[in-house]
Amino acid sequence: MSISTSPAPPRTVTQATGNGPPVRHDPPIIVFENVSKTYGNGAPAVQDVSFTVRPRDFVFVVGASGAGKSTIIRLLIREETASKGHVIVEGQDLARLRHRHLPRLRRKMGIVFQDFKLLPNLTVAQNVAFAIQVTDPGRSHLKEKVGEALYIVGLEDKLNNFPTELSGGEQQRVAIARALIHRPRIFLADEPTGNLDPDAGWGIVQLLLQINHRGATVVMATHNREVVDLSRRRVLAMEGGQLIRDEQEGQYLKEGEAIL
Amino acid sequence: MNPIPALRFVVRVALQNIVRNRGIAFASLLTVTLTLLGAGAAVAVVSALDGVLHQEETQASVLKVFMADHVSYASILNLQYNLSSEPSVLKASFENKDQAAKQAASGLGLGNALKILQQTGGGNPLPASINLHLRNIGAVSAINNQVSTSPLLYPGPHPTDYNKDVIPRLERYIFAAQLGGAIMVAVVGAVALVIITISVRTAAFVRRQEIEIMKLVGATDWFVRWPFLIEGVIVGVLSALLASAVLVGIGLLFGSGGNLALGIGLRFAGLVVLGLIAGGAVLGSFGSFVGIRRSLAT
Ligand SMILES: Nc1ncnc2c1ncn2[C@@H]1O[C@H](COP(=O)(O)OP(=O)(O)OP(=O)(O)O)[C@@H](O)[C@H]1O
Ligand SMILES: [Mg+2]
């Protein structure tokens, strides 16, 4: 280890743009650096993918079935590790993250999936509280925190219902409330609208946009074309494991691209 | 982490696991009880056998040192004193010619022959002896070598007497009994372990969704593991208590005079019960640890 004589470089750089005031750029919260992932001995599910996500970004990851969207989410929560390259979250290379520090990473993240993953024998409030009970039992003001999370997703009046008594959209909202309970800085969603009708799906996307507005970085994998085109947010388009497009205020499809 | 709500959560989930999967939990309780019963019975039998063999062993470790007829009583006393101060000698007692004759007459069909010999002036052909009770079988040949060259001893090819054959035979019996007991305990232990592992693996499979969510929201491995470990310990300890109740019940039924069956003392029985409880707890927690490992892999 060497002793540095000069002060550490600033964590935030200011960049001048062509016209207008300088734009502040926070250091990236997520970095993919030439990441490849091969399951077993098959073809690579993700191949040489590089991108960065800055804090408070909202990113859609789009692509056809099998393009590698879920793999990117699984790499981010370190359910899988990269076969090549580096996945870096908040400055931490996930390949070097020790297994026993995995819970710390997961508590920084909110995660929701297409299939909600609610426990059917627990009420709405119990499902949300579960995330705290198994990570920080004895945390004070549990009821208030659960109430607050359910208020954000608009389900404060369904506290004592069971998941089977809710619509799909409402169930996904419960999953989002549970994911919010640790106040995550990063929110990941893998096909959150996949099981929902267009209206309910759009409601969920609105909610994610609102969560993003409150300060969380959001990465959402989807093949819901309408949602992407209406939202006008950054799009990472995947095809056969490769990143073929990275566009601010992007569209689901670009002219000339095959129907995904 | 606050321990009290954590403990409440862990115990609640453990009890729920048992109640919800009561079929497999009952099966594992029953089989673990049976295996612990086997282990307890094996320990009891080996211990009882060991006691019997030990008794045999002390009998077998009597060494007769025959005295020549001309030896003075003072020299005999002197030799007896010297031998009794040997560390391996428990007791050294003198048996004179008359006692030897009486002993022989009572034990064997030689009574009449001896009587005739004495009445016809033939005298008593049996030598006097110092009878040594040794602490253990192993000391017999050492003492034998030490005394057999003494000029005080009965002349002839057999100045001393002990049953050479019975000693290694008894040692083999003891070894076989201990080995058999150990193998039986090991086998039933392995069976119990496999059953608990299967039962916990089933509980973990039933709860796979819950475990998945726990890992997703950032629960530690230990937090996931604890309820299953406690479940294993509960099943193991309950099985041990059941097995102990059955064993002690049978022991009381066939026991007598403050002892259980096979002459097993209450103190020893208490130790066996404690051992079964400890064994059940260890089997339960270890089986759970193995059973839950696969669920924690990713
Ligand atoms: N656990 C796995 N083992 C082996 N191959 C896998 C595994 N998971 C994914 N794959 C393969 O990797 C490729 C990318 O899968 P991935 O799940 O990332 O796609 P996706 O874009 O999420 O698709 P979908 O829209 O259908 O969810 C696919 O070819 C898939 O078959
Ligand atoms: Mg997918």
Question: CB-based burial of residue B208 (10 Å sphere; 0-12 exposed, 13-18 middle, 19+ buried)?
Answer: exposed
H helix intervals, B162-220 = 166-206, 208-216
Residue A57 reports pLDDT greater than 60 = yes
Least confident among A196-200, B54-58, B62-66: B54-58
Q: How far is the CA of A114 from the centre of ligand 1 (A)?
A: 14
Question: What percent of chain A has a predicted confidence (pLDDT) above 90?
Answer: 77
Asked whether A129 lines ligand 1 (CB < 6 A), one says no
State the Cα torsion A176-A178-A179-A182 to the nearest 10°: 140
Q: Is A50 helix (H, G, I), strand (E, B) or coil?
A: strand
Residue B244 reports pLDDT greater than 90 = yes
Residue B13 reports pLDDT greater than 50 = yes
Question: Regarding predicted confidence, which is higher, B262 or A146?
Answer: A146
* Ligand 1 atom at minimum distance from A70 CA: 22
Q: What is the pLDDT of residue B298?
A: 58
Q: What is the pLDDT of residue B206?
A: 84
Least confident among A7-16, A44-53, B109-118: A7-16
Contacting residues for A220 by C-beta, under 8 A, at least 6 apart: A58, A59, A60, A61, A188, A189, A192, A205, A208
Q: What is the pLDDT of residue B8?
A: 83
Q: What is the pLDDT of residue A6?
A: 46
B44: nearest Cα among B247, B254, B208: B247
Residue B284 reports pLDDT greater than 70 = yes
Residue ranges per structural domain of chain B: 3-56+170-297, 62-135
Question: CB-based burial of residue A97 (10 Å sphere; 0-12 exposed, 13-18 middle, 19+ buried)?
Answer: middle
Residue A24 reports pLDDT greater than 70 = no
Q: What is the pLDDT of residue B106?
A: 61
Which residue's alpha carbon is at the smallest distance from atom 31 of ligand 1?
A: A66
Q: What is the pLDDT of residue B60?
A: 62
Asked whether A164 lines ligand 1 (CB < 6 A), one says no
Q: List, as ranges, residues with CB under 5 A of the ion ligand 2.
A: A 70
Region A40-45 average pLDDT: 89
Residue A192 reports pLDDT greater than 90 = yes
**Domains in chain A: ranges and CATH:** 56-79+100-247 (3.40.50.300)
- The per-residue pLDDT for range A80-103, each reduced to its tens digit, is 999 999 999 999 999 999 999 999
Torsions phi, psi of A96, nearest 5? -95, 0
Q: What is the pLDDT of residue A81?
A: 95
Asked whether A240 lines ligand 1 (CB < 6 A), one says no
- The per-residue pLDDT for range A107-161, each reduced to its tens digit, is 999 999 999 999 998 999 999 999 998 998 877 888 999 999 999 999 999 999 9
Q: How far is the CA of A174 from the centre of ligand 1 (A)?
A: 26
Strongest mean pLDDT among A134-138, A218-222, B38-42, B51-55: A218-222
Average pLDDT value over all residues in chain A: 89
Q: What is the pLDDT of residue A9?
A: 46
User: With contact defined as beta carbons under 8 Å apart, do A74 and A61 qualify?
Assistant: no
Residue B112 reports pLDDT greater than 80 = no
Contacting residues for B148 by C-beta, under 8 A, at least 6 apart: B159, B160
Q: What is the pLDDT of residue A4?
A: 44
Given A99, A131, A137, which is nearest B217 (Cβ)?
A131
Question: CB-based burial of residue B145 (10 Å sphere; 0-12 exposed, 13-18 middle, 19+ buried)?
Answer: exposed
Asked if the B62-135 domain carries CATH number 3.30.465.10, the reply is no
Give the separation between CA A56 and CA A29, rounded to whole angstroms: 9
Question: What percent of chain B has a predicted confidence (pLDDT) above 70?
Answer: 84
First to last CA, chain B: 23
Region B52-68 average pLDDT: 73
Q: How far is the CA of A192 from the centre of ligand 1 (A)?
A: 17
Q: Is B23 helix (H, G, I), strand (E, B) or coil?
A: helix
